[in-house]
Structure 1
Amino acid sequence: MSDIKFSTDETDRIIGSIKSYFSDELDQELGSFEANFLLEFFAGEVGPHFYNRGLADAHTLLTEKFEEIGYLIQELEKTSV
């Protein structure tokens, strides 16, 4: 898996959320540099776990849908007379 990259707009919004969380929940002021550092850390250390969970969930969903399609195809089968 390649490194997780965010657009400038996404990065700005995430950094804003991190700063707000630290201010509201932890009563600590965090600068943009520190928030960006935390973003990079979590993206690198925790992000792959969320990414892999998303892939596993997508795989499970696709497997279920393919199974449903299999049943629908079976229902279309004709019986001989």
Structure 2
Amino acid sequence: MQTLSKAQKEHLTEQLSTYLLDELSIDIGGFDAEFLCDFVIEQFAPHFYNQGLAAAQLKMQQQVDLISDAVDELIMPTER
């Protein structure tokens, strides 16, 4: 699984900190927000990653089915 860039992680940490303050009135410092962000990433990222892979696999299978159908249309009849 790919890791986030420093800029992406900083952005997510800021979003998490802002959300906690705006929605839950919890003011946490940057250090704590970063630890919480790391925890959320570690716990949730594998689920989202696997969901993304499943969606990609489904899309790929649909495309393979289309190609298979197109090849079937090219089959020429043969006499016996």
Q: Following the alignment from structure 1 to structure 2, what is the Cα–Cα distance between the partners of residues 7 and 52?
A: 20
One-letter code of the match for 1:17? Q
Q: How many residues align?
A: 79
Kindly name which structure, 1 or 2, has the bigger radius of gyration based on alpha carbons.
2
C-alpha RMSD over aligned residues:
1.8
Counterpart for residue 74 of structure 1: 72
* Deviation by residue 1:29-71 (Cα, 9 ceiling, x = unmatched): 1211111111111111111111111111111111111001111
Counterpart for residue 57 of structure 1: 55
Give the drift of 1:78: 3.5
Percentage identity across paired residues of the two chains: 29
Q: Following the alignment from structure 1 to structure 2, what is the Cα–Cα distance between the partners of residues 16 and 76?
A: 56
Higher relative contact order (CA 8 A, sep 6+): 1
Question: Are 2:44 and 1:46 aligned?
Answer: yes
One-letter code of the match for 2:43? E
Counterpart for residue 37 of structure 1: 35
TM-score (norm 2): 0.83
TM-score (norm 1): 0.83
